[in-house]
Structure 1
Amino acid sequence: FVAEDLEQCAFFTDSICDQLFPRTKQIVLSYDSGRWVPRLREPRNLYGISPAGHLSLIRWPHQCEVIRDRIEHIDWIPREPEPLYQPTGLELEPLYQYPREGTVVYLADEANEESCFMYSRVGGSYPSKQVIAQDWDNTLNFEARFESGNLQKVVKVSEFEYQLTLRTDLYTNRHTQWYYFRVTNTQAGMPYRFTIVNFTKPTSLYNHGMRPLLYSEVDAKIHRVGWQRTGDEIKYYKNNLGQDGHQYFSLTWTFQFPHDRDTCYFAHCYPYTYSNLQDYLAAISRDPVKSTFCKIRILCHSLARNIVYVLTITSPSESGKEAKHKAAVILTARVHPGETNSSWIMKGFLDYILGNSGDARLLRDTFVFKVVPMLNPDGVIVGNYRCSLVGQDLNRNYKSDLKESFPSVWYTRNMIRRVMEERDILLYCDLHGHSRKENVFMYGCDGGEQAEMPCLHQRIFPLMMSKNCPDKFSFPDCNFKVQKSKEGTGRVVMWKMGIRNSYTLEATFCGSKLGNREGTHFNTEDLESIGYHFCDALLDYCDPDKSKYYLCLKELEEMVKQQAKTNSENLNCDSDASVTDAILDKDSR
């Protein structure tokens, strides 16, 4: 029984077990004194990533078809903010065309044939066939079977018009909003129309001027131009497709490709994939300076056995241990995979906090930062909008004890509990994207009876954010009410665990209604800047000189008084409690 036989046997056994259950123990065979000696090794999730930055391969649900191409896009910022689309009132509303009325030119295998997630495999399943047009035809060729891609079916309605159907979140029949797909065989200068026909939300930012994103590989190669806004005759409307009691909505737009025979991509928001995160973390681990104060560890494995990373960022002490007197700041992002803007904000935060500025060093000297940059890697990989592979919204399950079903939020909650046993937690913030409102804003939690002035102290940090970022962050859009339907969210669960400053930060998919940025889209630089401003607000909030803190508190008290006066005049109600309730009741998510 030679070593090669043993290795082949182990590989075969692992390949079978790998399809059925995740490993919880690892057996290593050492050759000693003429025989193989088995010994147990600690599970890999107790280790950090290697200093060389080697990161695990991506795992997909076994039934997902995946092409081999790795998709990469250049970073690019337009010279001027891109304006929103101005509706003319003449936009068309194309009817839903049943497949028999057109030609199906793209049809991905139905990944929802199984009712639940079974097991994963590295790289997914490579396709054996695909429904596409012939190369000699002028028909566009579509593809979305790459990381974070989402497209189920395309029907060619006429020579330059296509009807697109998005795939629902895996193992659900809902949550269609995120799209990201590739198009080839383009013709420049021709008026194309795309219509996505199976959105489920009755309202959309596309009716507020938001444009889809277009990426041209020719423009990227020749002109170094990346993602840019595109589209005219943009309309979001209720269509004539009703099915199983569900009403569907369409998004339609016209455009022209910039080049012949180009490869182009369309997306709902700037893509940020799991591979992008891994590349970013690998660069940190290889950096001889950043790796001294940013430790990258494995928080847990997802349902598909992809790694959920946790970063600990703080200035190292002489003893090598985290100083107990330092308070903690907790940041998480991407619990909803289609909210890619939250990853760009997280990147901006990490760029700042890992930088060499005096303020960044001061923050690292003052706090211990615990950061989970991607809570839902499985959903990000497969192109979901909202759910994980259990077909559930993780941000409604922070109270759940089902560790096997919701590992990332279960381990995040327990990690925070351990941190609370060691030190104070100043602030918790979960980063999100918002599909119906413009601007950037925050949701917080009521102060309740514990606070000296209910509801005001929790508003100070968001108010500071608005002052540091007046053309993007809107304090009037903030809300601090705890609704019953939100009791399973990270924000509410952490607040009930005892974190007074517990927030959800929401960034629009669209743009700003404020200052000189009114009527323009946010780009990746704008989103990253929110991460910088978060750090600025943190410095202001913790400044030993408390003058800014008390000025904000005084301003909030004046807001309440003014609201009391207004309500008293309009509603004959001058109770402070009623006034506070009126403030809290407005516009909650």
Structure 2
Amino acid sequence: MKISCNFDAGSIEVVSITGFDDIQLRIRKDNASDFAQWFYFRLQGAAYETCKLRFLNLNETAYPYSWDGYQAVASYDRVNWFRVPTHVEGNELIIEHAPLADSVYYAYFEPYSHEQHLNLIGMAQSSGLCQVSDLGSTVQQRDINLLTVGHEVESDLKVWITARQHPGETMAEWFVEGLITRLLDTQDPTSRALLDRATFYIVPNMNPDGSVLGNLRTNAAGANLNREWLNPSVETSPEVFHVRNKMLETGVDLFLDIHGDETIPYIFVAGTEGVPSYDERVAKLEDKFKHLLRLSSPDFQDEHGYDKDAPGAANLSMATAWVGEQFKCLAYTLEMPFKDNDNLPDDDYGWNGQRSLRLGEATLSAIYGILQELR
């Protein structure tokens, strides 16, 4: 029996393997910070054995209160992922599973590899409708790519979408894959109508380094990118530095920052109620967008989510708050669950990549519905 994680986004610490019923593990911290929550590893040599995998350090994880109701994911081929029985006992997360093959992978959520990321960029460029540009390099010299879809004329509305500032929130890039695939479909009337009036600027992965390193929340320098927007550093948060500069160049009429939430088992958005410039116009735009997104996707809801910021209390180092204040525009953080959507639960798969992808597709309909009111 063997456990390994020396691959893209792999992350685990092995404490001991004394038998199939006592595999002891620890969830590893991000490479340069104390955030710990993401895991992804391969187990070999345990086919048809009832395995008990014990994660011993829940009290050291970033969100120790989030594990109740959580089910880990597993795959034999890294394409088809399913949920496996998982529960909490004291300070331990326990997976009990009898794999049907000698090689099986377990992960915190369905991964989205760097190779998939590069393939997504290649697919978008090959459509003939998308321009791929390089904004700069990450701490570890990976590319920060921007996908631009549209005519880029001054009269176009400017729609910005960023994803995966927190690299372990892989559902965010699944979301972008769905959105951009539909946007590039020349037979889709919604996409054609959108591109008649808007240019889309999309960053599918804001944090390539953290993604490859198997981090939950930070880049290679240990920076939480969604706390860097007020004063980014080219040394420690170049990802935000370069994307922000491009936004200042193009302007922004609508901004969506795509994330995943460890605790709340629903799809929801968080807006800009706490920024100084928040006014009745933006409030009406927020309400209409939420209404349109509910119509576009029954997965979305607006009853459960984060507490709203008090007036003037927004953290302007966060992307949505900084963009909303800087451009006086509709700006939302969209959150998807690591667990399941309790409004439409799926015992076999929970919330997963394909459901995230479908939500990305549906979101284009909501954007189309709000477009004419953005200016």
Deviation at 1:478, TM superposition (A): 4.6
Could you tell me which runs of 5 or more consecutive residues in structure 1 were left unpaired when the two chains were aligned: 1-139, 240-249, 317-321, 547-589
Structure 1 residues 267 and 153 mapped into 2: Cα distance closer, same or farther (>3 Å)? Answer: same
Q: Is the 8 A contact 1:445 1:458 kept in 2?
A: no
Two-structure CA RMSD over aligned residues (Å): 2.2
TM-score w.r.t. the length of structure 2 is: 0.91
- Matched with 2:146 is 310
Residue number in structure 2 paired with 1:11: none
2:56 and 2:106 mapped to 1: Cα distance?
A: 16
Contact 1:330 1:370 survives alignment (8 Å): yes
Aligned in 2, Cα 1:475/1:157: closer, same or farther, shift over 3 Å?
A: same
Which position in structure 2 is the counterpart of 1:195?
54
Q: Kindly report which structure 2 residues correspond to 1:129-278, keeping only aligned pairs within 5 A, or say none.
A: 140-172=1-33, 174-188=34-48, 190-199=49-58, 200=61, 201-204=63-66, 206-208=67-69, 210-217=70-77, 226-231=80-85, 234-239=86-91, 250-259=92-101, 262-278=102-118
Asked if 1:323 is matched to 2:153, the reply is: yes
1:309–1:253 distance in 2 versus 1, CA, 3 Å: same
> Quick check: 1:441 aligned with 2:302?
no
1:536 corresponds in structure 2 to: 365
> Does residue 503 in structure 1 map to residue 332 in structure 2?
yes
SS in 1 for 2:177: helix
How many Å separate the matches in 2 of 1:401 and 1:193?
44
User: Under a length normalisation based on structure 1, what TM-score does the superposition of the two structures give?
Assistant: 0.59
User: Aligned letter for 1:202?
Assistant: P
Q: Structure 1 vs Structure 2: percent identity of aligned residues?
A: 23
Question: CA 1:497–1:449 in 2, change beyond 3 Å: closer, same or farther?
Answer: closer
Q: 1:416/1:235 Cα in 2 relative to 1: closer, same or farther (>3 Å)?
A: same
Shift of 1:449: 6.5
Is residue 161–residue 201 contact of structure 2 (8 Å, CA) maintained in 1? yes
SS at match of 2:57: strand
Change (3 A) 1:451 1:386: same
The CA distance in 2 between the partners of 1:449 and 1:211, in whole Å, is 41
The code of the aligned residue for 2:262 comes to S
Shift of 1:524: 2.1
- State whether structure 2 residue 291 is matched by structure 1 residue 463: yes
Shift of 1:443: 0.4
Matched with 1:57 is none
Per-residue Cα deviation, 1:306-359 (whole angstroms, up to 9, x for no partner): 001001101x4xxxxx22111100000011010001111111111111112121
Taking a change above 3 Å as real, the CA distance of residues 395 and 327 of structure 1, as seen in their structure-2 partners, is same
Deviates more, 1:519-528 or 1:349-358: 519-528
The answer on whether the counterparts of 2:232 and 2:240 sit within 8 Å (CA) in structure 1 is no
Q: When the two structures are aligned, how many residues end up with a matched partner?
A: 366
- Which ranges of structure 2 fall in alignment gaps of 5 or more residues? none
Deviation at 1:158, TM superposition (A): 3.7
**Conserved 8 A contact 1:442-1:477:** no
User: Per chain length, whose mean CA-contact separation is higher, i.e. which structure has more relative contact order (CA < 8 Å, sep 6+)?
Assistant: 2
The 8 Å contact of residues 330 and 429 in structure 1, kept in 2 or not, is answered as yes
Spell out, residue by residue over 1:65-85, the C-alpha distance to the aligned partner (whole angstroms, 9 max, x if none): xxxxxxxxxxxxxxxxxxxxx
Q: What letter is aligned with 1:429? A: L
Please give the alpha-carbon distance, in whole angstroms, between the structure 2 residues aligned to 1:159 and 1:311: 46
Mapping of residues 414-425 of structure 1, within 5 Å: 414-420=245-251, 425=252
Contact kept? 1:427, 1:499, Cα under 8 Å: no
**Deviation per residue, 1:488-512 (Å, 9 max, x gap):** 1100111120232111000011112
Contact 1:176–1:198 (CA under 8 A) maintained in structure 2: no
Amino acid at match of 2:279: A
Q: Once the 2 structures are TM-superposed, how far is the Cα of residue 468 of structure 1 from its aligned partner? A: 1.8
**Deviations 1:190-233 (CA, angstroms, capped at 9, x unpaired):** 221001122322312x422x32111124xx8xxxx8211112xx
1:413, CA displacement in angstroms? 1.0
Q: Which residue of 2 aligns with 1:583?
A: none
- Residues 328 and 367 in structure 1, CA contact (< 8 A), matched pair in contact too: yes
Residue 261 of structure 2 aligns with an amino acid whose one-letter code is H
Question: What residue identity is the alignment partner of 1:443?
Answer: A
Question: Is contact 1:458-1:500 (8 Å) kept?
Answer: no
Tell me the CA shift for residue 517 of structure 1.
Answer: 4.0
Q: Report the residue type matching 1:255 in the other structure.
A: H
